[in-house]
């Protein structure tokens, strides 16, 4: 396959560690990790994979895999420790070394500007709930693209607004751990605005820039064909996906969910024009499908999770269902017609065991294989999918699950920081070698 980008992905807080080094200020994840009971085993990202010090070794692993591209995120609080204003040279230098190291190895760097680690100092000013966050982010976007835009052409503004807005601010399962619909709706709106406003800034600073945003799509399914359950699916998909996709591509929020919000939305005149600023590509992260049932007691989406019995699941408990992947790609393409689609994340966690320096993760290989087949199926039906990034390069800090869940192609021994390729790493390497030379 020519013109298909093979890649691997990580994010800053999940791998970097060195939280008090290089002039970095705390992010909302440093704070959230201190909340008793928030993270499995009381883990945090203080050390993580120590990538801040071991980035050269990690770039060698990426080179060994033979991928074309490396998607990583930038820690805002390394670049702007006060959130805005003063630029921290040490932070710029770190990412310069990383970018140059990737390029020297023939790997294209793909930047995710925001993968959830808002500087705490900005959360103290209301975070994404404060409309000023749009200006904070555009300033940050300007600094990043001015400093790195001479070498980086691929830019992703946000990773998974759903997780930031709904999980972080409505369900309280991620930083900052707020449970408030009004806050969450504002957060979603300001993120979308910040995205739209930063696109022209990146284009201005980066020659030949390709700018996109990454959404996680987790389609809903039900166990019955009851009309209530089918309505629940429509509403749940609307809330999780259309709430972000519709404004990005069609300039409005989905009416069926808007009707269920019991207060005025924080929309100003002209906002939808900004949000729908044309992008070059849509990033999609896919892991599993949800199974839900109607539950009129729950608001604003009248649904509850239900358990589908007898289906294969990963160590996250997430159902493995590649046909859903194909279907969502076809549906999104039909409905929104993005210019290009990149799968910016896909992968699985397993209870990996290291025995005699080997990790036999046949389940991960199977997951990878079946999901790549699902993508190729969609591609053969005309969906413009031009790349795939495996999640993740390394086992890392899996947010609320701490270090217990392992998504890496490389096993990390957190005591010694030793990285060992799992069998899936060999599989991915061979696959890229064969497919690109065909
Ligand atoms: C993504 N869900 O998060 C993130 O982008 C990664 O940082 C993370 O490590 C990876 O997936 C694995 O979890 C998600 O509940 C978090 O649907 C939650 C969901 C999906 C993706």
Q: For 130-162, how does the pLDDT look when each residue is reduced to its tens digit (9 = 90+)?
A: 999 999 999 999 999 999 999 999 999 999 999
User: For the chain, how many residues are written?
Assistant: 438
Per-residue confidence (pLDDT) for residue 303, from 0 to 100: 98
Contact indicator for 303, 338 with CB cutoff of 8 Å: no
Residue 398 a catalytic site member: no
The reply to whether ligand 1 has any atom less than 6 angstroms from the CB of 220 is no
- CA 416/CA 330 separation, integer angstroms: 44
> Which ligand 1 atom is nearest residue 290's CA?
17
Per-residue confidence (pLDDT) for residue 150, from 0 to 100: 98
The reply to whether ligand 1 has any atom less than 6 angstroms from the CB of 285 is yes
Per-residue confidence (pLDDT) for residue 250, from 0 to 100: 87
Contact indicator for 28, 117 with CB cutoff of 8 Å: yes
pLDDT digits (tens, 9 = 90+) for 256-312: 999 999 999 999 999 999 999 999 999 999 999 999 999 999 999 999 999 999 999
pLDDT digits (tens, 9 = 90+) for 356-409: 999 999 999 999 999 999 999 999 999 999 999 999 999 999 999 999 999 999
Which has the higher per-residue pLDDT, 250 or 277?
Answer: 277
pLDDT digits (tens, 9 = 90+) for 183-218: 999 999 999 999 999 999 999 999 999 999 999 999
Q: How far is the CA of 207 from the centre of ligand 1 (A)?
A: 31
Q: What is the DSSP string of 182-243?
A: HHHHHHHHHHHHHHHHHHHHHHHHSTT-EEEEEEE---EE-SS--HHHHHHHHHHHIIIIIH
Whether pLDDT at 437 is above 70: no
Helices (H), 16-75: 28-32, 51-65
Q: How confident is the model at residue 435 (pLDDT cuts 50, 70, 90)?
A: confident
Q: How confident is the model at residue 436 (pLDDT cuts 50, 70, 90)?
A: low
Q: What are phi and psi of 341, to 5 degrees?
A: -120, 135
Residue identifier of the C-alpha nearest atom 7 of ligand 1: 11
- CA 112/CA 75 separation, integer angstroms: 10
By percentage, how much of the chain surpasses pLDDT 70?
99
- CA 292/CA 306 separation, integer angstroms: 5
Peptide bond into 392 cis (omega under 30): yes
Residue 416: how many other CB atoms lie within 10 Å: 7
Residue 345 a catalytic site member: yes
The reply to whether ligand 1 has any atom less than 6 angstroms from the CB of 290 is no
Q: How confident is the model at residue 438 (pLDDT cuts 50, 70, 90)?
A: very low
Residue identifier of the C-alpha nearest atom 16 of ligand 1: 163
The reply to whether ligand 1 has any atom less than 6 angstroms from the CB of 319 is no
Tracing tokens 């440093």 back to the chain, one arrives at: 30
What element of type H or E holds 120? Answer: helix 120-123
Per-residue confidence (pLDDT) for residue 98, from 0 to 100: 99
Mutate to test the pocket of ligand 1, among 12, 216, 347 (most ligand atoms within 8 A of CB): 216
What element of type H or E holds 331? Answer: helix 322-336
Per-residue confidence (pLDDT) for residue 95, from 0 to 100: 99
Arithmetic mean of pLDDT over the chain: 98
Choosing from 16, 242, 319, 345, which is the catalytic residue?
Answer: 345
Whether pLDDT at 425 is above 60: yes
The reply to whether ligand 1 has any atom less than 6 angstroms from the CB of 240 is no
Two structure tokens written together for 318:
């997430």
Contact indicator for 159, 191 with CB cutoff of 8 Å: no
Choosing from 16, 160, 242, 363, which is the catalytic residue?
Answer: 160
The reply to whether ligand 1 has any atom less than 6 angstroms from the CB of 159 is yes
The reply to whether ligand 1 has any atom less than 6 angstroms from the CB of 160 is yes
pLDDT digits (tens, 9 = 90+) for 303-348: 999 999 999 999 999 999 999 999 999 999 999 999 999 999 999 9
Residue 131: how many other CB atoms lie within 10 Å: 15
Contact indicator for 118, 27 with CB cutoff of 8 Å: yes
């Amino acid at each position: 396959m020519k013109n298909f980008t093979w890649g691997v992905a990580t994010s800053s807080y999940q791998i970097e560690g060195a939280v008090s080094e290089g002039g970095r200020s705390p992010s909302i994840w440093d704070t959230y990790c201190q909340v008793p009971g928030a993270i499995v085993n009381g883990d945090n990202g203080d050390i993580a994979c120590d990538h801040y010090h071991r980035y050269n070794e990690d770039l060698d692993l990426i080179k060994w895999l033979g991928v074309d591209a490396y998607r990583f995120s930038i820690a805002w609080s390394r670049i702007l420790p006060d959130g805005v204003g003063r630029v921290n040279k040490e932070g710029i230098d770190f990412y310069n070394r990383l970018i140059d190291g990737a390029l020297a190895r023939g790997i294209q760097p793909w930047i995710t500007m925001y993968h959830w680690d808002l500087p705490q100092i900005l959360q103290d000013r209301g975070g994404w709930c404060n409309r000023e966050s749009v200006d904070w982010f555009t300033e940050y976007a300007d600094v990043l693209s001015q400093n790195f835009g001479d070498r980086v052409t691929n830019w992703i503004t946000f990773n998974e607004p759903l997780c930031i807005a709904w999980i972080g601010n409505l369900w309280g399962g991620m930083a900052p751990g707020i449970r408030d619909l009004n806050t969450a709706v504002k957060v979603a709106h300001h993120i979308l605005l910040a995205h739209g406003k930063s696109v022209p800034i990146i284009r201005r600073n980066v020659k030949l820039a390709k700018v996109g945003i990454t959404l996680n799509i987790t389609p809903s399914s039900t166990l019955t064909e009851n009309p209530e359950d089918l309505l629940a699916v429509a509403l749940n998909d609307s809330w999780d996906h259309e709430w972000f996709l519709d404004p990005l591509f069609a300039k409005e929020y989905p009416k069926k969910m808007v009707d269920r919000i019991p207060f005025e939305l924080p929309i100003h005149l002209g906002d939808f024009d900004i949000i729908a600023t044309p992008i070059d590509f849509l990033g999609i992260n896919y892991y599993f499908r949800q199974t839900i049932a109607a539950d009129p007691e729950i608001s604003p989406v009248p649904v509850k999770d239900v358990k589908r019995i007898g289906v294969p699941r990963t160590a996250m408990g997430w159902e493995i269902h590649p046909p859903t992947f194909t279907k969502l790609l076809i549906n999104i393409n039909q409905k929104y017609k993005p210019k290009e689609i990149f799968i910016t994340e896909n992968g699985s966690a397993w209870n990996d065991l290291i025995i005699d320096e080997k990790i036999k993760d046949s389940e991960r290989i199977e997951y990878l294989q079946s999901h790549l087949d699902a993508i190729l199926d969609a591609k053969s039906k005309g969906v413009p999918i031009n790349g795939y990034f495996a999640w993740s390069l390394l086992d890392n800090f899996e947010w609320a699950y701490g270090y217990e869940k392992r998504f890496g192609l490389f096993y990390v021994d957190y005591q010694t920081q030793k990285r060992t390729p799992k069998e899936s790493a060999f599989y991915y390497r061979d696959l890229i070698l064969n497919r690109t030379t065909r």
